[in-house]
Amino acid sequence: MAGTVVQWLRIPALVSGSVAVIASSLLYFKQNELIYPRNIPPGSRVDDPRFQPSQFGISICTHLHLPTPDGETLSTYFIRPTNAARARHITVLMFHGNAGNIAHRLPIAKVLADSMGLDVVMLEYRGYGLSTGTPDEKGLNVDAQTGLDWIRNHDELGRSRIVVYGQSLGGAVAVQLVAKNQRAGDIGGLVLENTFLSIRKMIPAAFPPARYLAPLCHQIWSSEETIPLVKDMPVLFLSGLRDEIVPPSHMKQLYNLCRVDTKIWKDFPNGDHNSSVGEAGYFEAFAEFIREQVVSKK
C-alpha cells in the first residue's frame, strides 16, 4: 500500500520544485499565490475523474460541503472503514499541504480507514479544490475550526476521540487548532509530518534569494510559538530527513519545543517532502501511535 501512496502523490510532489524556481522574485508581490499554490498541479480546481474515492477502492465516502461562519463552503470527504467490525471510534481530522487538493491524498485516507479502522474527515481549505473563497492564514484557521466543529456536532463522531493530522502547511494548521481547542478534552492526539517553524523561517531554505524579504511576509504560521502551548495530548512527529522544502531541522526544533508528556519521534532517512508518507514504517508508526497512545487512553 505504501508504494501505491507514493505513486499517486507524485503529482503534488512535482509542485514543490517548480514553485521554488519562480518564487524568489515574486515573493513580496504574490505572497498568497506562492504560499497557497492551489491551482497546481493543473486540474486541482476541478472535479477530476482520475481522483475519485472509488478509484482508490474507497466505498464508504460522503462528499460534504461545510459552510463556514464567514460565508465560504468547504469541500470535504467523510470516509468510513469498510469493515465496521474493525472501527475504533476514532476520527482523524486531516489537513493537507499547500498544493493540490484532498483528492490527491485519498490513498492516505484509504490506509487510515481500512487498515486502521479510523473515520477520516478530509477538509479542503478555502480556495482549494471545489471549496469557495481565497486562502490566507486567518481564513484557514476558520476552516479548521469549521471541520472540528462539524465532527463535534455529528451524532456519532461527536462521541469519538479525535486525532488531528497535518502534513506540511497542514501541520501548522493542526498546531493552531489543537492549541485553541485542547481544553475540551475530545482531542486524543496530534500527528505532524514535515512541517515548519514558521513561514518566515522557511523562506531562506525554500527560496534562498528571497531570504531578505522574509520579514515582509504577512502569512506567519508560527508553529514554534504555538506548539509549546499544546500540553494535554500525545504528539507524533514524522520527519523525512531528505526534505528539500522544509529543513528537517525545523521538525526537530518543533519536537524539542513541544512540552507534552508523551512525544514520539519517527524519522525516514530517504523521505523527502512529499514521499515520506510512502516510506517503510510510516503507517506502522501511525498505527502504533493510535493503538498505544489514543486507543489505550480512551
Mind telling me the catalytic residues? 168, 243, 273
Provide the sign of the torsion angle of the four alpha carbons 116, 9, 61, 139, taken in this order.
Answer: positive
Q: How is residue 86 annotated by DSSP?
A: G
Question: CB-based contacts of 22: which residues, under 8 Å, 6+ apart?
Answer: none
Show the beta-strand stretches assigned E in the chain.
61-67, 73-79, 90-95, 119-123, 161-167, 187-193, 235-240, 263-268
| Nearest in space to 4 (alpha carbons), one of 216, 293, 186, 275 | 275
Place of cell 508581490: 29
Cβ distance 161 to 298 under 8 Å? Answer: yes
| Nearest in space to 144 (alpha carbons), one of 120, 160, 166 | 166
Provide the sign of the torsion angle of the four alpha carbons 229, 231, 235, 240, taken in this order.
Answer: positive
Q: Looking at the DSSP assignment, which residues form a beta bridge with residue 190?
A: 164, 235
d(CA 149, CA 190): 17
Please report which helix (H) or strand (E) contains residue 202, including its range. helix 199-206
Report the b/e string of 82-111 with b at 16+ CB within 10 A.
eeeeebbebbbbbbbbbbbbbbbbbbbbbb
